[in-house]
Structure 1
């Protein structure tokens, strides 16, 4: 543990700094940590610098262990050497590959404290928690189903902290009345990957257009399935109503144009985009998976349906588009719920409490 005279060196190990929910949440957390007690820095296993300017402005030191676009053996060799020469007081790996290798190398290098994280619906399997769950001092998850899964695997309940994502409610504020959307835009800000199931969304949108001919679907994001999703969109019978955009550092201009925000995920943790949309007063149509039901209250802040059910999802999008008063009421309720339950300040303080506890145990 750090000497009492200096803040604890907390290294967040990430795969990259591409635009993404985990990267954004890590940045928000690190920027707000009490610098009298914690000195955060980011280590990246691969290239990807989308968020680098934001991190630099927040005064967070950045280290790229490898410039390759994906994690390679060179990345892992660099991490192994780095942990020998620059031992952090606390290592916090984020996403699957960092959680696997950060823990294995951390154990072999006898690091004083490692905190594992599970943030996505598939994290338990992808991170091999069945075998690696006991290689960390503590776990932090962002949704109750992930904590339940770890406990079922045998992880002690008091070693798993469920800390929902936080949202900057001042930054993600409802637009002025004169900027309210006038078009029927359904916005899906989601990474192109299997978990998000864009194929179901595209099929569901055909149902929506059948009821709301003026509806538009905006897909915003990047990811490994980008080409596949864009090809499906280009072949859709309603392709003229579908637009695709790359991910952006500031998603607010997209949110400001949206009447509804949609997610068709089959697996989730607690999606940042859901909280950001709710904070901006936008109703949500989503699947009832992972931590989404913890945020979205059906018939109050949005509408939920089972995954892989395009008929139900399409009907929910159409229903919200058809009723402006309902959208306004759900949006107001959503904003109030985020202010009460998902503030950035609460998220940061709870992380600080876990970090302090783990560091104290390591010192003892």
Structure 2
């Protein structure tokens, strides 16, 4: 029987997405002798995505929270935590930050909240109500970390997270899984609609407002008008609440034969190896895991100058940065790469080197385990326990 301390990961929903993918990677890769893991979803989970968890014994619980205020969810979580008796509650983003008090009342020794990005309706973190909630919750947490330097600084300056509770934990990428395609590689993803002669711009991520795919579509349409002689194509891979509206927008722009929106995929690494340029049109971001996967795959990145994107994409070296919500600037950046395959190859190669040196999966897992270890050790001493921080 594994008596390692239990970590409960509290998220809004377990589904295809960058935060969720990296959570699963950490669970799968962290030594089983160090910690056990359970996932609590405030709403529910996608069974197809849940199958990505390969670590044995990871239970998934769903609280089926309804939209809006839901006091009953706090009670349900308290009861579940009393039953599970975890050593650590690790909540993610604003959607789960308010449950720190429930964890305290359930006698969970270590409580952590991670800031992995902001919502589309508050991309710059200026919503007073949301920030007041974040500040109110700080005393209930032992650590409030961020996954980008910009977000950590915002945590300190705006949310007033004290330095001893603040950390920056960068995302990591599996550079063995995500790698450049071979020059003569002919393997295409199932359903791939494009020909080898096409120049394919692509993006991967949840199709939601914060990703601003509308600007990406507008930039692609503008580029096609400027350079009708180029065989340009666009792939927008991912599921989300705006998927159908993006399909409709592509059709309204007359791009239905040039834009592929297949929804969620499980073969992202292969998809990336068939792209020529990766795009990030977000209006807010933490450390963009999808951009790191693209860089590990040898792709140059055209990204917006927001959040953690400039920390990852070195402008003019591994990609090109443009202002957010600016289709013209984005189209111009795409045009530079479409007109110069040599530049795209050079920036793509530099991007992979950057990932190998700064964003390895091993380093990410070690950093998170180090956070758990140090906080548990501190709480053990504080509480006078001798065997585990769950006591």
- The normalised TM-score by structure 2 is 0.86
Find out whether 1:184 has 2:190 as its counterpart. no
Residue in 2 aligned with 1:147? 152
Equivalent-residue separation in structure 1 for 2:101 and 2:247 (angstroms): 38
Residue in 1 aligned with 2:210? 195
Find out whether 1:31 has 2:47 as its counterpart. no
State which of 226, 241, 251 in structure 2 corresponds to 1:211. Answer: 226
- Write the mapping of 1:1-364 to structure 2, written as runs, cut at 5 A: 6-47=3-44, 48-55=46-53, 57-66=54-63, 73=70, 76-101=74-99, 103-122=100-119, 128-152=133-157, 153-179=159-185, 182-213=197-228, 214-363=231-380, 364=382
Equivalent-residue separation in structure 2 for 1:133 and 1:228 (angstroms): 38
CA deviations on 1:103-128 (whole Å, 9 max, x unpaired) are: 13113323211111000134865573
Equivalent-residue separation in structure 2 for 1:60 and 1:117 (angstroms): 24
Q: Secondary structure at the match of 2:236?
A: strand
Equivalent-residue separation in structure 1 for 2:262 and 2:65 (angstroms): 25
Q: Secondary structure at the match of 2:160?
A: coil
Deviation at residue 276 of structure 1 after TM alignment: 0.3
Deviation at residue 351 of structure 1 after TM alignment: 0.9
Deviation at residue 238 of structure 1 after TM alignment: 3.6
Distance 1:154 1:27, change over 3 A: same
Equivalent-residue separation in structure 1 for 2:135 and 2:64 (angstroms): 31
Count of aligned residue pairs for this structure pair: 358
Distance 1:70 1:59, change over 3 A: farther
Residue ranges of structure 1 left out of the alignment (5+ in a row): none
Residue ranges of structure 2 left out of the alignment (5+ in a row): 187-195, 383-391
Q: Is the 8 A contact 2:16 2:206 kept in 1?
A: no
Q: Is the 8 A contact 1:221 1:246 kept in 2?
A: yes
CA deviations on 1:55-83 (whole Å, 9 max, x unpaired) are: 1x222512223468979956554323101
Equivalent-residue separation in structure 1 for 2:118 and 2:12 (angstroms): 18
Distance 1:67 1:107, change over 3 A: closer
Q: Secondary structure at the match of 1:114?
A: strand
Distance 1:27 1:85, change over 3 A: same
Deviation at residue 283 of structure 1 after TM alignment: 0.7
Q: Is the 8 A contact 2:36 2:58 kept in 1?
A: no
Q: Secondary structure at the match of 1:240?
A: coil
Q: Secondary structure at the match of 1:177?
A: coil
Q: Secondary structure at the match of 1:168?
A: coil
Equivalent-residue separation in structure 2 for 1:78 and 1:171 (angstroms): 39
Distance 1:119 1:208, change over 3 A: same
CA deviations on 1:253-303 (whole Å, 9 max, x unpaired) are: 221211011011110101111000000001111101111111111111111
Equivalent-residue separation in structure 2 for 1:199 and 1:115 (angstroms): 35
